Chains A and B, each alone.
Chain A
């Protein structure tokens, strides 16, 4: 039987680790892995940006904390790029559908703390939003 943990957050600068600690209306969800779980089996993620600055970035997920048994794991979540529009023009939105990575199989301990962080690398494109769901088994 699977259990889920969803966290999200705002990344405002490149090369800065941002802990994802909120969940919309729930400002401080538990970051303790469910009792009895052994693995992260699946990761569901989305990234987007407001594209208020010209640049290009990639997004990296960092999974750490004492629950992650083989040390910090880093996984690419996505990428975004943007160049400024001509004066008076509008820009198309930058949006993505959820991405699912199956069979992630990251060993974790149950009932222990997990740290979920995101990071932009590259050249700042403005403010980015990142949301991640971990599916435990």
Chain B
């Protein structure tokens, strides 16, 4: 039983603002993220996020999964958090994290991925989310 991995990323520029992740690095318009043919489950998500620390504050980062590809409707998951006391000199590097899920999916239907910064604005945040599908 093999797995398939699909990724989207994007920048979040304001707090409490649902931001769709639509790009994939050099692919500026990869198109809708469709549940692959034959996929039975969304097994897990692999996520990472980082802010540019341009604003002193503390925020949490949330991922939202929506769209007809999710058989039981929208899902949400915490992705990370960042905070900095002064807007001069903050820096971080972090690995992504795999979060095990068990979501039923509908092949050939779209899953829309959103990122959101909650709490206080910490500047611009880049977020990337990989969907791990089980064939």
Contacts and interface: CB of A to CB of B under 8 A. Distances in A.
Interface of A: 14-17, 39, 45-49, 51, 54-60, 69-70, 73-86, 89, 91-92, 94-97, 99, 101, 104-107, 119-123
Interface in B93-107: 93-96, 98
A81 B52 contact: yes
Interface residues of B, number: 47
Contacts of A120: 25
Interface of B: 1-7, 9, 11, 23-26, 28, 36, 46-54, 80, 82, 84, 87-96, 98, 123-130, 135
Given A17-B26, A47-B93, A91-B89, 18 more contacts: A60-B9, A69-B2, A70-B4, A74-B7, A74-B130, A75-B7, A76-B130, A81-B51, A81-B125, A81-B126, A82-B90, A83-B54, A83-B87, A83-B88, A85-B88, A91-B91, A92-B91, A96-B93
Contact of A101 (B4, B24, B98): B98
